[in-house]
Structure 1
Amino acid sequence: MFGIVFWQTGSTIKQQQDIFNILGLIYGSALFLGFNNCCILQPVVATKRIVLCREKAAGTYSTLAYAIAQVAIELPYMLVQVFIFATIVYTMIGFQMTANKFFWFLLYMVLSYMYYTLFGMMTVALTPNIEIASGLSFLIFIFWNIFSGFMIGREMIPVWWRWVYWANPAAWTVYGLMFSQLGDRTEPILVPGQPNQTVREFLEGYLGLEDHYFNLITYLHVVVIAFFAFIFFISLKYLNFQRR
């Protein structure tokens, strides 16, 4: 569906709207698919947690082994799903067919799916039931969406709210995907009411996507994935909401 709606959008960029179309595609691909994956996973994790609490009390399960297994079992599914999606959509969109750019697209999609998945698992482990976990996730996802850089560009966010942007994993993903695909493009585009700019100049001036933050964004993905996994393990180990 994404490939059909945005068919060959990335092949020719002539005006500001073309960049916004690509931004919408990247926003939808990374955030909505990750959100759906998180929501589907949460009931499964909640059901398995009941078994863990019972078996852990009997001395059968190790919390660390269970946490590692729970994370590891999701990896093949995520990798296959992302690879199929990225291969089809990347080609249909018309992004530049280079190994380097496809690698970055694939990498950020994998990292995005990983932190969404681990976030869903973490919220289940932190809360007493699936209803509260789902509500908490939805509330946080609202902030992730608003401050992702799609609805409001970073340069347009009031200074006192920009810390939310920099603390937002969804914004990092949009940043990484946009800059990795368009950050080196220098063809001029038409910007209504302003002199013509290159694609890169528009990314820096309007969206705030700059080269010197690119590596930091990548490292932050790894950090937040490790953080969510750690909180998931700690919550499983020390929080027990079962009542007799």
Structure 2
Amino acid sequence: MDEPTSGLDARAAAIVMRTVRNTVNTGRTVVCTIHQPSIDIFEAFDELFLMKRGGQEIYVGPLGHQSSQLIKYFEEVPGVPKIKDGYNPATWMLEVSASSQEQMLGVDFAEVYKNSDLYRRNKALIQELSVPRPGTKDLYFPTQYSQSFLVQCMACLWKQHWSYWRNPPYTAVRFLFTTFIALIFGTMFWDLGSKWNTQQDLINAMGCMYAAIIFLGSQYGSTVQPVVAVERTVFYREKAAGMYSALPYAFAQVLIEVPYVFVQTLVYGLIVYAMMGLDWTAEKFFWFLFFFFFSLMYFVLYGMMTVAVTPNHNIAAIISSFFYAIWNLFSGFIVPRPRIPIWWRWYYWATPVAYTLYGIIVSQFGEIQDVMDSGSTVEEFLKDYFGFERSFLGATAGIILAFDVLFAFIFAYSIKAFNFQRR
């Protein structure tokens, strides 16, 4: 019972505690927290578990007749004043064990209790009661959680489904934002996907794809962070209650983003692909959707990962914004890879956006043999200027997938290992 007398007058409180006492007299155990009890109510208890701020034990033992054992225990501490006749033992107990009194007396009541005979008797009793009686077995549960890992995953996924479905400021607004951006990019870069006679035409088409993935990706990564931060708070409570473990929660949090990102990728891909006039072949359209989908996914997963490794989404936003700027710089569009100084070129290969740009451009233009105004073919220009080769397309796709798996793994591990909850 949690403070059953709160808000009651003295008569009502006495009636409630008399009922509790009668319940105890039938042989049942009642654990009850109490706030500022009267003498009669306080002395109706058999035993007391008293803690100081921070959860440290000060007294764990019987009260005794008229709180005699409690009073004796505290009066034996050097410097503690004797209780006055008729004074409420509950009030006196709190006054003499207050932090200000500890500083004045130079004692730590938690240490006093740990060095007392009462503490040793309690530990011996716990040890004795922890041994099962002859012919009986101790309580045993084969697993920590009541349901299997698969059932936990399904339950968490179902919970996340409703959480996202009932959050239109996040899901619906992001969908409308994607559609709006697709229309802007499609009209601004109208029919550029079918033009590669000049280097500038080809670079303009690349710029559309590059700007879209940076712009949409950073937005996706930023908007998911407050959502994950709120969900993580709920996770702390439900995990502490033993409802499920960290991995099913992380699995559900990652998987619930997949259909939303896929629909947004499909809408953006159909609009922009048609407006830009890119080649309508099954292979090229598949590669376009593939790289765009998994690129948006690693942005989302990166945003989730930064929340999982930081105390709150504000710090996560600062960290992720810094890396978005670095990814932008080392993507290979602003400064092509062959022109990046050799001592920084290693970071190009560690930048996920670089593989996105590489994969989209090579899959769309990497095999074109038409001669440009510079005298070289499109394939040769991409290889000489950007360092893009069609033969590296499969490896690029694999690396993009690896980034998704890496960010998802770090998110899951961080959710399991780190706890930033503050009490």
Aligned pair 1:216/2:395, yes or no? yes
Aligned pair 1:118/2:301, yes or no? yes
Counting only pairs closer than 5 Å after superposition, residues 45-60 of structure 1 correspond to structure 2 as: 45-60=228-243
**Greater mean alpha carbon deviation, residues 172-181 or residues 60-69:** 60-69
**Which blocks of at least 5 consecutive residues in structure 2 are unaligned?**
1-183
Aligned pair 1:134/2:317, yes or no? yes
Aligned pair 1:149/2:149, yes or no? no
Aligned pair 1:187/2:370, yes or no? yes
The whole-number CA distance in structure 1 between the counterparts of 2:395 and 2:389 is: 11
The whole-number CA distance in structure 1 between the counterparts of 2:323 and 2:419 is: 23
| Higher share of residues assigned helix | 1
Deviations 1:174-214 (A, max 9, x none): 000000000011111123xxxx1111111000011012322
Match of 1:37 among 217, 220, 236: 220
The whole-number CA distance in structure 2 between the counterparts of 1:12 and 1:140 is: 33
The whole-number CA distance in structure 1 between the counterparts of 2:267 and 2:216 is: 13
The residue aligned with 1:76 is 259
Q: Is the 2:327–2:352 contact (alpha carbons within 8 Å) kept by the matching residues of 1? A: yes
Q: Is the 2:195–2:202 contact (alpha carbons within 8 Å) kept by the matching residues of 1? A: no
Larger relative contact order, structure 1 or 2 (CA cutoff 8 Å, min sep 6): 1
Instruction: Kindly provide the amino acid, as one letter, of the partner of residue 240 in structure 1.
Output: N
Aligned pair 1:96/2:279, yes or no? yes
The residue aligned with 2:409 is 230
Aligned pair 1:241/2:423, yes or no? no
Query: How big is the shift at 1:42?
Result: 0.6
Query: How big is the shift at 1:4?
Result: 0.3
The whole-number CA distance in structure 2 between the counterparts of 1:216 and 1:198 is: 23
TM-score (norm 1): 0.96
Query: How big is the shift at 1:12?
Result: 2.1
The whole-number CA distance in structure 1 between the counterparts of 2:280 and 2:243 is: 51
Aligned-residue RMSD, C-alpha: 0.9
The residue aligned with 2:206 is 23
Q: Is the 2:368–2:378 contact (alpha carbons within 8 Å) kept by the matching residues of 1? A: yes
The whole-number CA distance in structure 1 between the counterparts of 2:215 and 2:333 is: 13
TM-score (norm 2): 0.56
Moved runs in structure 1, 4+ residues, more than 6 A?
A: none
The whole-number CA distance in structure 2 between the counterparts of 1:106 and 1:2 is: 16
Instruction: Kindly provide the amino acid, as one letter, of the partner of residue 193 in structure 2.
Output: G
**Greater mean alpha carbon deviation, residues 171-180 or residues 153-162:** 153-162
The whole-number CA distance in structure 2 between the counterparts of 1:217 and 1:7 is: 27
The whole-number CA distance in structure 2 between the counterparts of 1:227 and 1:233 is: 10
Deviations 1:80-132 (A, max 9, x none): 00001101100110111111100000000011011111111000000001111
Aligned pair 1:159/2:345, yes or no? no
**Which blocks of at least 5 consecutive residues in structure 1 are unaligned?**
none
Deviations 1:139-197 (A, max 9, x none): 11111000001100011111111111111100000000000000011111123xxxx11
The whole-number CA distance in structure 2 between the counterparts of 1:113 and 1:152 is: 22
Q: Secondary structure at the match of 1:188?
A: coil
The whole-number CA distance in structure 2 between the counterparts of 1:39 and 1:204 is: 34
The whole-number CA distance in structure 2 between the counterparts of 1:93 and 1:212 is: 25
Q: Is the 2:305–2:408 contact (alpha carbons within 8 Å) kept by the matching residues of 1? A: yes
The whole-number CA distance in structure 1 between the counterparts of 2:262 and 2:359 is: 19
Greater Rg over alpha carbons, structure: 2
Instruction: Kindly provide the amino acid, as one letter, of the partner of residue 299 in structure 2.
Output: Y
